Structure 1
């Protein structure tokens, strides 16, 4: 994510920072120095701050030992760099919640580990897909469209949709690499929904490692897919029911990386299914 993105994100959430009494000028200077030293002219071009105001902000930051200067260049001190790391993360997190608040309020987040909640700002470049009265299947259709155009799919699911099983069966036949983490109940439902041809194809591709399945024993409260090009996240409501009307979607590299870490976290807690497991369904 480049500095211009962060500066634009800050414009979205700067009122929140003003509420906390943090100087907008100083924040913009620190963010602008995040990727390396810059001259006053560079800072002015990046931030759009008038020269006199900019110099006042620089002096304040120098007094606090957050930035230093060498010749014509200003740069973050060690303390300034660490502070800016946290600042950038906070801006990204605020932007995420500003744009996708409906997904997070009154929804269960227990299946997201704390280390990834601390990096939730990596999802800041996401869109909230919401079903409307005139389009009740918008999120469902969006999900199917994304996975149908993917080359690699990793999915965690405690919910069952026949459409998803049919789509995955078709994609596996087309040599798309698929990894699934399913609860025991959903695993059984998925296998029972397959016709004999698809079941045999699942077993064949499982033996060739084109399909990998894990069973997770715990009661997970997240429906989640990460592909080679996108990340899709759905949550359960606080009452324990999956909310099919809202999904978070992103094609940003930060979100995809975050998604792969979430998948790996749950994979470590799951048991890999062997081909022999399918024999009971023959």
Structure 2
């Protein structure tokens, strides 16, 4: 099965490479992605002469990505699947390049492969970077969104009294009604050794700590209102100056999937 998967991946890579090496082939697939179109509609969409478009269509027909149905051209099933993957590739590239310094500067080893493949779901996320004149910009934005959420799930890789105090305030004020947090046994023991945090967090019925014996290098928070992600530098130090925040459905879907991965 692994051999077959590798063959499929190689074939898919070859097909996408063939498409992306020609802007006309790529543009034609994208133009036909939503609905079939006739030659006149394609000419208007692409601002190219008929001869150029027909040549590109012929190439795509030859490899069974496009077919002609009456006077319109449409994607075949293979064409639709390939174009879907191409769109995801483009959106992944956009999401990564939009927040390039965030992804480049950090350790991504604890983000599973499936989540990395779906980075395109974070294309509308905002990258917030604290400045030397105000080191708390990212943290304050995070706390503001946290205070608007009644139920929160969190992958917590650090022992931070600052974070804990804000969370306790939200729990005591009634704003935060439920908190699930995945913590390493080391972090859990550190919380337990602090009498205040032990009482207000571990003994609070609103809080459900989920303990793991692994050390994690991602700090994920997600709720119905938002998701946020902070990471570690490649040298192993936690970076609280840069944060990725989003409030759209796709980003929250990505966060939920990552949470489920760690739960499972």
TM interval, shorter chain, is 0.7 to 0.9
Structure 1 residue runs without a partner (length 5+): 1-16, 269-282
* 1:216-259 Cα shifts (integer Å, max 9, x gaps): 21011111111213221111111111112211122222221111
> Equivalent residue for 1:199?
199
> Equivalent residue for 1:3?
none
Secondary structure (helix, strand or coil) at the match of 1:97 reads: helix
> Equivalent residue for 1:267?
263
1:238 equivalent among 234, 237, 240: 234
What is the alpha-carbon distance in structure 2 between the residues aligned to residue 192 and residue 166 of structure 1?
15
Secondary structure (helix, strand or coil) at the match of 2:159 reads: coil
TM-score, structure 1 length as denominator?
0.76
What is the alpha-carbon distance in structure 1 between the residues aligned to residue 104 and residue 200 of structure 2?
43
Aligned residue pairs, count: 245
> Equivalent residue for 2:135?
136
Q: Would the aligned equivalents of 1:162 and 1:193 in 2 still touch at CA under 8 Å?
A: no
> Equivalent residue for 1:169?
168
TM-score, structure 2 length as denominator?
0.80
What is the alpha-carbon distance in structure 1 between the residues aligned to residue 119 and residue 108 of structure 2?
11
> Equivalent residue for 2:181?
180
Secondary structure (helix, strand or coil) at the match of 1:93 reads: helix
What is the alpha-carbon distance in structure 2 between the residues aligned to residue 194 and residue 127 of structure 1?
37
Q: 1:93 to 1:107 in 2, by over 3 A?
A: same
What is the alpha-carbon distance in structure 2 between the residues aligned to residue 28 and residue 58 of structure 1?
11
What is the alpha-carbon distance in structure 2 between the residues aligned to residue 218 and residue 138 of structure 1?
30
Kindly state the Cα deviation for residue 72 of structure 1 after the two structures are TM-superposed. 3.2
Q: Would the aligned equivalents of 1:180 and 1:212 in 2 still touch at CA under 8 Å?
A: yes
Kindly state the Cα deviation for residue 41 of structure 1 after the two structures are TM-superposed. 5.4
What is the alpha-carbon distance in structure 2 between the residues aligned to residue 241 and residue 59 of structure 1?
54
What is the alpha-carbon distance in structure 2 between the residues aligned to residue 108 and residue 138 of structure 1?
22
Q: 1:175 to 1:130 in 2, by over 3 A?
A: closer
Q: CA RMSD in A?
A: 2.8
Secondary structure (helix, strand or coil) at the match of 1:160 reads: coil
Q: 1:60 to 1:162 in 2, by over 3 A?
A: same
What is the alpha-carbon distance in structure 1 between the residues aligned to residue 157 and residue 126 of structure 2?
23
Q: 1:220 to 1:73 in 2, by over 3 A?
A: same
* 1:136-182 Cα shifts (integer Å, max 9, x gaps): 11111111111111233111111133232223223333253321111
Kindly state the Cα deviation for residue 263 of structure 1 after the two structures are TM-superposed. 0.8
Q: 1:27 to 1:227 in 2, by over 3 A?
A: same
Q: Is residue 223 of structure 2 the alignment partner of residue 227 of structure 1?
A: yes
